[in-house]
Chains A and B, each alone.
Chain A
Amino acid sequence: MVKTRAIVITGNGTNCEVEAAHACRLGGFDEAVIAHISDLLSGDLRLDDFHFLNLTGGFLDGDDLGSAKAQANRFKYARVDDLSEHLIDQLLRFIQAGKPILGVCNGFQLMVKMGLLPAFDGNLLQQVATLTFNDCGRFQDRWVYLKNNPASPSIFTRGIDRGIYLPIRHGEGKFVAASSEIMDRIEANNLAVLRYSGPDYEEPTMAFPENPNGSEHAIAAICDESGLLMGLMPHPEAFVHRTNHPRWTREELPEEGDGLILFRNAAEYVRSKLV
């Protein structure tokens, strides 16, 4: 049987690679490779040989020019050593092959700033939204309730009942669309996958700290129209076991954490559609 292979790109300030790879394995991938970006730029590893790409959390280039801006620039312009192509060529080929990409936190910022999300009409390199400084003006580490949009095309959130509970850890997580037309289109196509809400997962909220950053329309996650590209500010890889939960010593919780379903869905998708 062909092995299902996930890749987590690291380097230049990515921090969540170990737990992201761990979540991929727990979710059902046969292999999860942590690849330093230099492994890709040297040509030692190629995206083509993988089925699922994780752009995970961290502080790429220290968020120096705004979160993920420098990496978005690097992805667009860096050449691969031994091949006559740029890294972006491999990435676009990966998307065209119908393979899923999950961007978490800094990875979500990267996807949005490159234009990979929401990527209307398959226009993958035009930025139409952004993630900017939290309204509270500070980095925040806290847990949030995320109301699921069951009508979204995302392959990652299939089977989520009402919502999931995950930590956010960011200073720049406020989702802003470039115009109201763009926001309307995100809403009309159900591309807003997860929204900050109260503990009952009923109504989206704009109130701090349930909505920790002041995101427009309380958006915490969006996907593209295919549902294969998704990004979210909360960290699904940080809640894969009940001991990750802040109240595991006082609540009856299942063994498995809420975040694992995203990786399980990715693994199932790859197994059923790509190998």
Chain B
Amino acid sequence: MTRRIEIALRVQVRDPRGERIKREIEHFLHLPVERVRTIDVYTVDAALSDAELQQAAAGPFCDQVIQEWHLDTPAARDFDYLVEVGLRPGVTDNVGRTAREAVEYLTGRPFQPGEGVYTSVQYLLSGKITHADVERITTGLLCNTLIQRYTILDAATFAAQRGVPVFVPKVLGEIKTEVREINLEVTDQELMRISKDGVLALTLEEMQIIQAHFRDVQVLAARQKMGLGPRPTDVELEALAQTWSEHCKHKIFAGTVQYEDEEGNRQEIKSLFKSFIQRTTKDVREKLGDRDFCLSVFKDNAGVIRFNDDWSLVFKVETHNSPSALDPYGGALTGIVGVNRDPFGTGQGAKLIFNTDVFCFADPFYDKPLPSRLLHPRRIYEGVVEGVEHGGNKSGIPTVNGSLVFDGRFAGKPLVFCGTAGIMPATINGKPSHEKHIEPGDLIVMAGGRIGKDGIHGATFSSEELNENSPVSAVQIGDPITQKRMFDFLIRARDKGLYNFITDNGAGGLSSSIGEMSGECGGCRMDLAKAPLKYAGLNPWEILISEAQERMSLAVPPAKIDEFTEMARRFGVEVSVLGEFTDSGYFHILHGERTVAYLPVAFMHEGLPPMQLPAKWVPPRHEEPRVVIQNDYTADLKQLLASLNVCSKESVVRRYDHEVQGGSVVKPFTGAANDGPSDAAVVRPVLDSFEGVVVAHGICPRYSDIDTYHMTANAVDEALRNYVAVGGSLDLVAGLDNFCWCDPVLSEKTPDGDYKMAQLVRSNQALYDVCMAYNLPLISGKDSMKNDFYDGSVKISIPPTLLFSVIGRIEDARKAVTMDVKRPGDIVYLLGKTGNELGASEYLALKGFVGNRVPQVDTAKAYKRYRAYHEAVMAGLVASCHDLSDGGLAVAAAESAFAGACGMNLDLTRVLWTGDDGERNDVTLLFAESASRHLVTVRPENRGAFEAAMGGNCFASIGVVTAEPVLTITGIDGGTVVRAGLAELKEAWQRTLKDL
């Protein structure tokens, strides 16, 4: 029988969750709600006695100091409207799972199949509101109808029907194992219909290649021996669609590009990936010679570099944009726990040491209508922030570095970048930890969560633009605790040498992980009937491609399997043997005795010809802004400090545990009041050593409006200059590229595809050029190429965006430098030159312009200066250092000053200028975002040594740190162009996002 247990706060106890909802209703919906209280509901669908239910209610479910419990009687009272929100059937219910385990401990009896505990939350709303208002509150704030369901009752109806009716969100599918055969001997039009209706995201050409494969007489003969006919099964077609999806195969980066530049020069590029990204790493490594520190690049789930003789570092950054657009909380949570599995599944497995995250959103205060299906930017903001908060904090991994970037076009798709680094002993059981192999005969083992219908078609769906019909099934909820348990177990299994190979189960599910592993050894034989399911009723193809979370795939030698499974049992981790790896040359999938897929491994992995992609570069010309020369820029500076891209993100960052694991050295916030924004993070992953890991990033999508070449060059430079600012060494630093593009394939839907493709080519060219100059090998990366929204009439494409992350080392973390000025009397230096480069700056954006003069990177000079600066840091000569980026010198100076609680007097006449002297003016000196610059302070007694260390580089002393808490900047004509108290500058900077 189904029973309801309701847990309510005692009347006199505050309800912070309810208060927060009330604030959000006022803030965003402007509705007069007087009070919001909340109640937790457990729907127990299991054979339990009354005594057992009461024990559960009174024990693990209820904190009797502040709460009271009600069994089968409603707890709600004193409200005008009640809203109950629960999950839809099949959506992962983490609290329900924990509740069920708690009951099992209590009774000592495991639940029977089909029994379960389901959770929901009641919101009791009081105030002068109508049913329509409550509907708005519910769908606008409380409930994402894609994954949740809701009930609204007014007080009278609630009283009349005595509470909320019991509902059990159980998946009720009939037991079936249907395998369909698909007839591909049809017209081209029909082939495309099959692809589209099935969310296969295969092109006509790809469908025709599959069609041709199934006409091959040898193929047919081989299939006949396995009892298969001439038509592909749904399992086979789905497996190919996953393997060949843009998400998994990176077809655009592998395609052949015909590029034409603005002068009409034509060039054929065979694979951007090979021609630029892979070549960057190869050429940098050759240049480094015996100083090369790369251990494993591009071939594994994450890149591996040397940290020192004893340890290796692993790093990967992923995106989870499409799911976050539909369900921001679940999408982002899955994003972070998903990327955790990448370093964990690299080499023999790595312990995770930190997360990074970068989010690109539209303005959360946007107040105009949006196309249907698009969630409001503030819901995306709130959901994504909370999803990553839960995923990171609950996994015990500090979130040490990140950004929030705003642009209206991210309303079409938000970008959610999640990165994770790991560390592993350089050798494990005598073998290099970054290597692994599979022997034919090794068992196919799946560990972790069970398989459900969640995440079906995630890989193929994210390979298309977001539209009205984007599939609900692609969305899922992550479960950090199941994953944490699995990691606790697997790291011990690793140290005992209990497996040969490990990899992540991510996009494409078993189809991708076992497919790729089969590529390692030449085949597999796997029985899908042996896979553990969340509920009955999944077809074999669904089992194969489900992206249900928290799973790893392993190759376990038969001699070790008993020890492996016994250990898993003790750690409470489910593991299943699904078959074995072979060298048969076939991806051989069974369901029970029946063969349901029989595909040559070579066809799966090499069967696809490269895409043909036209690209034509026509440089855009924007209106040349007429910047008004003023006498005083104080008001402009304050406006810039308050702008979304510059303002303090502390209200978000404080929600992320950035110190767990105990090795935090440079935290996200620093300075006299712990509120100045750090440039990069430094952590000590090994607590009895002072060697530190430094991580930083660069991102500047606005520059793409002028030229993606310079957008990319600036992103790479920004990442490195942030890294260098805190003291990162240039002798051991590697890069990671994450491309997020709008669809660059020329088509009816995308008539400017050749321009967008040219933008991609130029971005790659810059990546190669700058990384070569900076000795930055690329060790891993990812691309997400379909970041558009299109509902048939409105199209929103994101600005082409490159997130460039760097990871490296600081020899002695005790020498790290932070951005806050330290004491009055210190000398202020500006390293690097400023030019007439206001193009696409925050300042021009504020004034409503784009401009054309985008900052350009002089890599040779910058690299030499970064090296000299690093020596000065190691010699202890630098008191503070802050990188110049959004908002230029004025913003950097304001931030350093108010972070350090000391004023600053600066003189613009002393700032080094590059270019035509006639273009030099105060506004450009203050706000241009010229690349490669640092604002440094030095104690007067170190002046000589610092200037000697920097000798031969462009740098100038431009002022002094003062005791008076005021920022004063003198213009080139001798007048004061900025003068403001630190408190008012800081207030402007902190106000914008304080309450979000």
Contact = CB atoms under 8 A, between A and B. Distances in A.
> A and B, one complex?
yes
Interface of A: 10-16, 18-19, 22-23, 36, 38, 41-42, 57-59, 61-66, 69-70, 72-74, 77-78, 113, 127-130, 132-143, 167, 169, 176-178, 214, 235, 237-238, 240, 243-244, 246-247, 249-250
8 pairs of A and B residues whose beta carbons are closest in the complex: A15-B396, A19-B662, A64-B98, A137-B20, A130-B65, A137-B16, A73-B60, A59-B394
Interface stretch (B356-364, B537-545, B615-623, B669-677): B669-677
B813 A137 contact: no
A135 B99 contact: no
A178 B63 CA distance: 10
A72 B571 contact: no
A246 B669 contact: yes
B61 interface: yes
Given A15-B395, A15-B661, A61-B481, 5 more contacts: A61-B98, A127-B63, A141-B658, A167-B659, A250-B900
A247 B63 contact: no
A246 to B, nearest CB: 5
B102 A73 contact: yes
Interface string B564-586: 00000011100000000000000
Contact of A139 (B393, B484, B659, B663): B393
B328 interface: no
A44 to B, nearest CB: 9
A235 B398 CA distance: 14
Contact of B670 (A23, A137, A141, A249): A249
Given A133-B16, A240-B662, A70 B98 contact: yes
Given A18-B687, A128-B65, A61 B570 contact: no
Given A70-B101, A139-B393, A142-B654, A19 B687 contact: yes
Q: Which of A14, A36, A38, A135 gathers most chain B CB within 10 Å?
A: A38
B816 A142 contact: no
Interface in B84-106: 94-95, 97-99, 101-102, 105-106
A252 to B, nearest CB: 12
Contacts of A178: 64-65
Interface residues of B, number: 70
Nearest to A22: B687
Given A247-B672, A247-B674, A13 B484 contact: yes
Given A65-B95, A235-B659, A11 B488 contact: yes
Contact of B659 (A59, A238, A249): A238
Given A11-B485, A58-B396, A77-B106, A64 B99 contact: yes
Q: Which of A61, A135, A141, A237 gathers most chain B CB within 10 Å?
A: A141
Given A70-B98, A137-B20, A238-B659, A250 B822 contact: yes
Contacts of A137: 16-17, 19-20
B92 to A, nearest CB: 12
Nearest to A19: B662
A63 B95 CA distance: 9
B86 to A, nearest CB: 15
B655 interface: yes
B660 A57 contact: yes
B655 A139 contact: yes
9 contacts: A11-B488, A65-B95, A69-B60, A73-B59, A133-B16, A139-B393, A238-B664, A249-B880, A250-B820
Interface string B1-45: 000000000000110110110000000000000000000000000
A130 B102 contact: no
Contacts, number: 183
Q: Which of A64, A77, A139 gathers most chain B CB within 10 Å?
A: A64
B818 interface: yes
A199 to B, nearest CB: 10
A10 B98 contact: no
A244 B492 CA distance: 29
A241 B59 CA distance: 40
Contacts of A138: 20, 654-655
A142 B101 contact: no
Nearest to B688: A22
Given A16-B662, A38-B572, A250-B671, A66 B63 contact: yes
Contacts of A139: 389, 393, 655, 657
A38 B19 CA distance: 40
Interface of B: 13-14, 16-17, 19-20, 59-61, 63-66, 94-95, 97-99, 101-102, 105-106, 108, 389, 393-396, 479-481, 484-485, 488, 492, 570-572, 654-667, 669-672, 674, 684, 687-688, 690, 813-814, 816-818, 820, 822, 880, 900
B980 to A, nearest CB: 23
B91 to A, nearest CB: 15
Contacts of B492: 36
B670 A12 contact: no
A254 to B, nearest CB: 14
A249 B725 CA distance: 14
Contacts of A235: 659
Contacts of B14: 135, 214
Nearest to A77: B105
B15 to A, nearest CB: 8
Contact of A129 (B65, B102, B661): B65
Contacts of A22: 662, 687-688
B16 A136 contact: yes
Contacts of A128: 65
Given A169-B659, A247-B670, A250-B672, A62 B94 contact: yes
Contacts of A16: 396, 660-662
B662 A113 contact: no
Contacts of B655: 138-141
A15 B660 contact: yes
Nearest to B108: A77
Given A57-B660, A59-B481, A74-B105, A65 B60 contact: yes
A258 to B, nearest CB: 14
Contact of A141 (B65, B106, B479, B656): B656
Nearest to B684: A243
B488 to A, nearest CB: 6
A62 B99 CA distance: 11
A56 B466 CA distance: 44
Contacts of A240: 662
B900 A72 contact: no
A131 to B, nearest CB: 9
B63 A69 contact: yes
A113 B421 CA distance: 35
Contact of A12 (B17, B64, B481, B674): B481
B725 to A, nearest CB: 12
A69 B69 CA distance: 15
A3 B994 CA distance: 51
Contacts of B101: 61, 70
B20 A142 contact: no
B34 to A, nearest CB: 18
A148 B142 CA distance: 42
A141 B672 CA distance: 17
A238 B396 CA distance: 13
Contacts of B665: 243-244
Contacts of A143: 674
B20 A18 contact: no
Contacts of A238: 659-660, 662, 664
B401 to A, nearest CB: 14
Nearest to A73: B60
Nearest to B59: A73
B395 to A, nearest CB: 8
Contacts of A57: 660
B66 A176 contact: yes
A124 to B, nearest CB: 16
B36 to A, nearest CB: 11
Nearest to B820: A250
B571 A38 contact: yes
A64 B484 CA distance: 14
A65 B99 contact: yes
